[in-house]
Amino acid sequence: MGAKSNLPFWKTKNMAELSREQWESLCDGCGKCCCIRLEDEDDGSVYVTDVSCHLFNPETCACSDYGNRKSIVPDCVTLTAATVDELHWMPETCAYRLVAKGEDLPDWHHLVSGSRETIHEAGMSVRGQVESESGVSDKELPHRIVIWPGEPDFTKS
């Protein structure tokens, strides 16, 4: 067996070859993808807010009903190997995006560090920093645009 067999799965397999368990384990638990986004109708720019889906638990940084999320929130996007390249609004730090581009996972990712807490310790998650959409009106959303750590600031020209 060569050195390739000693490498982690995300370095040896393409996205379509991952098992369901491997696929699910790639999620770093940042919660950024569960934040409400606004799209500029004129130029298609997408802005992220500090307002989360009502199913998002801001302490665990996980969906409170992951298995049923699509039936409860019909516009919730299911990420697949086929769609990962198309979802330009996904966080730049997203492990799915990184692996799809052939990049390595950051040191704070749990598959590298061995702990699901390192992402929070590194300040790369939204833990405790979001408010549920159920407590925020649509009118307030443009005033809730944020730039999360590790993300590009598209608001600057």
Decide if 65 contacts 141 (C-beta within 8 A). Answer: no
Whole-angstrom distance, CA of residue 34 vs CA of residue 49 = 10
Question: In the structure, what pLDDT confidence band is assigned to residue 4 with cuts at 50, 70 and 90?
Answer: low
In this predicted structure, the answer to whether residue 64 has a pLDDT above a threshold of 60 is yes
Domain boundaries defined on the chain: 13-144
> According to the model, what pLDDT value does residue 137 have?
96
Per DSSP, the three-state class of 45 is: coil
Pairing of strands 46-52, 131-132: parallel
Whole-angstrom distance, CA of residue 47 vs CA of residue 90 = 11
pTM of the model: 0.87
Please, which residues have CB within 8 angstroms of residue 4's CB and are 6 or more apart in sequence? Answer: 12
Whole-angstrom distance, CA of residue 24 vs CA of residue 39 = 28
Question: In the structure, what pLDDT confidence band is assigned to residue 58 with cuts at 50, 70 and 90?
Answer: very high
> According to the model, what pLDDT value does residue 78 have?
87
Tokens of residue 119, six digits: 């992402």
Please, which residues have CB within 8 angstroms of residue 87's CB and are 6 or more apart in sequence? Answer: 77, 79
> According to the model, what pLDDT value does residue 104 have?
93
Tokens of residue 112, six digits: 């590298």
